[in-house]
């Protein structure tokens, strides 16, 4: 499946945030380009810089303004945390291998949780159904993010 067969929409407090669609986890530099060109611009930039770190690559949906980001690449949710005084973020595992096995059998997976960073709590939730995913992130200040991503969405 090609990257361009996947699409996403991101909302912050119900307002569409196109600058958080098809961009890197903590870098929306490519948001100046039309959506269809962002992945290519990101790939060329990373190749030119010899930077293959996953969080530097475009994700379909990126939720969050602060230390914590909930992202989607295809139907795979990723939780990223950039702690104070760290040189780069870390990906926090939110799905166990056994849960992917369960998803394979039922074509449905729903999960929620929270994470505390710098004495603040973020809540997250996602639902994967067949070839689409809906993700939610609530920041400590109450800001609500929603993203929907899917194949031929």
Would you state the pLDDT for residue 146? 98
- pLDDT single digits (tens) 13-53: 999 999 999 999 999 889 999 888 898 888 899 899 999 99
Q: Which of 26-35, 114-123, 135-144 has the lowest mean pLDDT?
A: 26-35
CA distances from 34 to 38, 47, 78, 102 (A): 6, 20, 24, 37
pLDDT above 70 for 152: no
Confidence band, pLDDT 50/70/90 cuts, at residue 153: low
**Share of residues in the chain with pLDDT > 90 (%):** 70
35 half-sphere exposure, CB direction, 13 A CA radius: 17
Mean pLDDT of 82-86: 91
Q: Under 8 Å CB-to-CB from 47, ≥6 apart: which residues?
A: none
Q: Under 8 Å CB-to-CB from 153, ≥6 apart: which residues?
A: 6, 7, 8, 9, 132
This prediction has a pTM of 0.90
- Evaluated on CA atoms 96, 126, 118, 22, the torsion sign reads positive
């Amino acid at each position: 499946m090609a990257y361009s067969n996947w699409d996403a929409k991101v909302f912050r407090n119900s307002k569409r945030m196109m600058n958080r669609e098809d961009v890197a986890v903590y870098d929306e530099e490519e948001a100046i380009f039309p959506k269809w060109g962002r992945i290519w611009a990101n790939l060329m930039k990373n190749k030119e810089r010899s930077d293959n770190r996953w969080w530097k690559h475009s994700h379909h949906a990126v939720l969050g303004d602060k230390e914590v980001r909930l992202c989607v690449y295809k139907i795979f949710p990723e939780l990223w945390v950039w702690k104070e005084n760290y040189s780069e973020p870390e990906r926090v595992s939110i799905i166990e291998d056994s849960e992917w096995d369960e998803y394979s059998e039922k074509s449905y997976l729903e999960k929620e949780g929270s994470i505390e960073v710098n004495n603040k709590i973020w809540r997250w939730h996602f639902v994967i159904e067949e070839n689409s995913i809906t993700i939610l992130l609530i920041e400590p200040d109450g800001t609500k993010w929603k993203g929907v991503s899917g194949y031929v969405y």
